[in-house]
C-alpha cells in the first residue's frame, strides 16, 4: 500500500467531485469557483498497483491487496480493466480499454466500483459495445440509469409461469416446437445451416408486437455485423432493437462480457413490465473466448481445456431469462442462445451443457439442408419442453399429433426406397406426409403470421390439400397468404368458421 501525497485530488470531506445539479446550469468558471469554495485539504490513502506485464488482452499486476473479483481498475494512461483472477502475489485483469502507452510499470488504481453499463429507452435502434459505448457514430444516448453486468437471477418466488406465446414467424417452430415468452430455447447446428437466419426471422417478426429485441454478436467478423445491421434496418426491425457488438478484433474481455451486457439491457425492460427477446450469437465462440482467457490466466484446464466453471458461467447467464410474476409487472426475457456444432456432433461438451441448461433445442441438420428442406430443422431431435403451455389453444389443437405423424411418415418413406409394396392406407399417409413436408418449407426472412399458420393447419388436417401435388404447394400457399391477410377470421374464431371459409376459398376458381 503506497501513500499518495494530496495534490489535485478532491477533498476527503463532502468533496464536490462532480458539479452539483445547480452548478451544472452555470458556466465552467462558476463551477470551478464552487468546487474551490468547498475544497478542504486532507490526506488521502489509496492503494496503488503496478503493471507487471501486458499481452493478449490480459494484464498482470502487483499491489492492490484489497482488490476483489470483478473490481474495475483504472490505469494512469487511461486504460481500464476488470479483476478476473486473484493470486497470492499478483492479480490478473482482463482489459476493457487499452491505450498504446499501456506497458509494464504503468500504475493502476482501484475505482471502488463494479462493472456496470448505462440502460434506457435511448438505446433502441443503436449499436453499442458491451460497455454501452456507441459504435454507430451517433451521440451517446441519455441513460435512464446504470445496471451491473453481473447480478443474480430472479428468485423463484418472483417468477411467473410461461404462458404467452412468442411467435418466431417460422412455421415449423411456431407449430411443432413452440416458444413461450420467458423461455430459453437453444438453436444448435453446424455453421452455414441457418441458425442466425432463424434468429433474425424471430426478431423481424416481433414488429408491432411490443417485444424489444437485443441481438448480441460475439466474436463475429465485421462483414457479419454489417449484414446483420443492414438486414434489421431493411425490414424495419432496428427501431425496436439494440445490437451489442464485440467483434472478433475486440479485446477478449469485451467478447466475454457481451452476452451479459445484452442480458442487462433486457432486464431493464423486463423490470418495467415489458417483454424482451435476446439473441446470443453465439455461445460456442463465447466459450472459446473464456477458455482463452482462462488459459492465459493459467487456470487449471478441464475437459477440452475449458475451465471447470464454464457450465456455471452459461447457467448464470441463461437463468436470468425468465417471466416475472404479475405482481412484479409480468415482464419477460426470452433467450435464444445459438451454439455451433462440428460435423453435427450434438453431444460435444458445450452443446451438451447448453442443452441441459435451456428449456429445449432446435437442431439444424446438414443432410436436410443439402436435400433442400429449409429451414433444415430436424424435428426428431428438436424439442420444446415448456412452449406447448404457451401455445394458443387453436394452434395447439391443430398441431397436436402433427409432429408424431410426420416422424412416422419419415419412417414409412424409407420403405419406399426398397420398392416395397405398401397398403393403401400407408400410401395415403406417405402422400400426406410429402405434402406436409412441402408445407413446412419456408424461405428465410419471410416470417409468417399466426393467422396464416392456423389457416394452413386447418386446411391440411381437414384434408383440403389431399389431392394436391407436392410441387403445387408453394403456389397455393402464396395465394392462401393473401387470402388470410384480407380475411377477418382470428385465432379465436370457431374452427368450423375456418373450415367453411377455407373450403369455399379452395372451391372457388
Q: How many residues does the chain have?
A: 509
| Active site residue ranges | 385
Hey, what's the cell of 491?
385465432
**CA–CA gap between residue 265 and residue 124 (Å, rounded):** 10
CB 354 within 8 A of CB 337: yes
Measured CA to CA in angstroms, residue 129 lies from 97, 170, 215, 218, 356 at distances of 11, 30, 12, 10, 29
**CA–CA gap between residue 129 and residue 142 (Å, rounded):** 16
Phi/psi class of residue 64: alpha, beta or left (left: φ > 0; alpha: ψ in -120 to 50)?
left
Enclosing H/E stretch for 179: none
Hey, what's the cell of 198?
432463424
**With the CA atoms of 264, 110, 74 and 62 taken in that order, what torsion angle do they form, in degrees rounded to the nearest 10?**
-120
Assign 260 to helix, strand or coil: helix
Give me the DSSP letters along 332-374: EEEEEEEEE-STT-TTSHHHHHHHHHSSEEEEE-HHHHHTT-S
Give every CB contact of residue 420 below 8 A, 6+ residues apart in sequence.
Answer: none
**CA–CA gap between residue 261 and residue 431 (Å, rounded):** 49
Give me the DSSP letters along 9-59: SPPSSS--SS--HHHHTS-HHHHHHHHHHT------B--EEEEEEEETTEE
**CA–CA gap between residue 201 and residue 418 (Å, rounded):** 39
Give every CB contact of residue 124 below 8 A, 6+ residues apart in sequence.
Answer: 212, 239, 240, 241, 242
CB 273 within 8 A of CB 205: no
**CA–CA gap between residue 18 and residue 401 (Å, rounded):** 65
Q: Phi/psi at 244 (nearest 5 deg)?
A: -105, 115
CB 165 within 8 A of CB 391: yes
Angle at CA 266, nearest 5°, toward 260 and 269?
Answer: 150
Burial of 114 (0-12, 13-18, 19+ CB in 10 A): middle
User: Which residues make beta-bridge pairs with 116?
Assistant: 148
**CA–CA gap between residue 126 and residue 233 (Å, rounded):** 11
**CA–CA gap between residue 69 and residue 86 (Å, rounded):** 7
**CA–CA gap between residue 262 and residue 333 (Å, rounded):** 11
Amino acid at each position: 500500500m503506497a501513500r499518495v501525497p494530496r495534490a489535485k485530488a478532491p477533498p476527503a470531506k463532502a468533496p464536490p467531485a462532480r458539479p452539483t445539479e445547480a452548478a451544472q446550469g452555470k458556466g465552467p468558471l462558476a463551477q470551478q469557483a464552487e468546487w474551490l469554495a468547498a475544497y478542504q485539504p486532507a490526506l488521502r490513502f489509496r492503494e496503488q498497483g503496478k503493471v507487471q506485464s501486458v499481452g493478449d488482452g490480459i494484464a498482470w499486476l502487483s499491489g492492490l491487496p484489497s482488490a476483489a473479483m470483478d473490481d474495475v481498475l483504472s490505469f494512469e494512461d487511461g486504460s481500464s480493466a476488470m479483476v478476473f483472477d486473484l493470486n497470492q502475489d499478483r492479480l490478473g485483469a482482463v482489459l476493457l480499454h487499452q491505450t498504446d502507452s499501456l506497458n509494464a510499470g504503468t500504475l493502476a488504481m482501484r475505482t471502488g466500483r463494479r462493472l456496470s453499463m448505462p440502460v434506457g429507452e435511448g438505446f433502441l435502434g443503436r449499436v453499442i459495445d458491451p460497455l454501452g459505448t456507441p459504435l454507430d457514430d451517433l451521440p451517446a444516448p441519455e441513460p435512464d440509469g446504470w445496471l451491473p453486468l453481473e447480478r443474480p437471477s430472479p428468485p423463484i418466488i418472483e417468477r411467473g409461469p410461461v404462458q404467452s406465446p412468442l411467435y418466431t414467424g417460422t412455421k415449423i417452430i411456431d407449430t411443432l416446437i413452440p416458444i413461450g415468452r420467458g423461455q430459453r430455447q437453444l438453436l444448435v447446428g453446424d455453421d452455414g445451416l441457418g441458425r442466425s437466419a432463424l434468429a433474425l426471422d424471430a426478431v423481424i417478426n416481433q414488429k408491432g408486437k411490443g417485444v424489444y429485441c437485443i441481438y448480441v454478436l460475439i466474436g463475429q467478423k465485421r462483414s457479419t455485423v454489417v449484414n446483420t445491421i443492414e438486414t434489421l434496418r431493411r425490414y424495419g426491425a432496428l427501431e425496436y432493437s439494440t445490437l451489442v457488438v464485440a467483434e472478433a478484433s475486440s479485446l477478449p474481455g469485451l467478447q466475454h462480457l457481451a452476452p451479459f451486457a445484452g442480458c442487462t439491457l433486457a432486464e431493464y425492460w423486463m423490470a418495467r413490465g415489458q417483454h424482451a427477446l435476446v439473441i446470443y450469437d453465439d455461445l460456442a465462440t463465447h466459450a472459446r473466448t473464456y477458455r482463452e482467457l482462462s488459459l492465459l490466466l493459467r487456470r487449471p484446464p478441464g475437459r477440452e481445456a475449458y475451465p471447470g466453471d464454464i457450465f456455471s458461467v452459461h447457467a448464470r447467464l441463461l437463468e436470468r431469462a425468465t417471466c416475472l410474476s404479475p405482481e412484479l409487472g409480468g415482464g419477460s426475457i426470452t433467450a435464444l442462445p445459438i451454439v455451433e456444432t462440428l460435423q453435427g456432433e450434438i453431444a460435444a461438451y458445450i452443446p451438451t451443457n447448453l442443452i441441459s441448461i435451456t428449456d429445449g433445442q432446435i437442431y439444424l441438420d446438414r443432410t436436410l439442408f443439402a436435400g433442400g428442406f429449409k429451414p433444415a430443422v430436424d424435428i426428431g431431435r428438436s424439442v420444446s419442453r415448456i412452449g406447448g403451455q404457451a401455445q394458443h389453444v387453436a394452434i395447439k389443437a391443430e398441431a397436436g399429433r402433427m409432429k408424431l405423424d410426420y416422424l412416422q411418415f419419415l419412417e414409412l418413406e424409407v420403405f419406399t426406397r426398397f420398392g416395397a409394396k405398401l397398403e393403401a392406407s400407408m400410401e395415403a399417409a406417405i402422400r400426406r406426409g410429402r405434402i406436409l413436408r412441402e408445407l413446412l418449407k419456408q424461405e428465410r426472412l419471410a416470417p409468417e403470421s399466426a393467422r396464416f399458420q392456423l389457416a394452413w393447419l386447418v386446411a391440411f388436417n381437414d384434408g383440403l390439400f389431399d389431392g394436391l401435388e407436392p410441387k403445387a404447394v408453394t403456389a397455393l400457399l402464396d395465394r392462401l397468404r393473401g387470402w388470410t391477410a384480407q380475411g377477418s377470421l382470428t385465432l379465436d374464431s370457431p374452427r368450423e368458421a375456418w373450415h367453411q371459409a377455407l373450403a369455399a376459398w379452395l372451391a372457388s376458381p
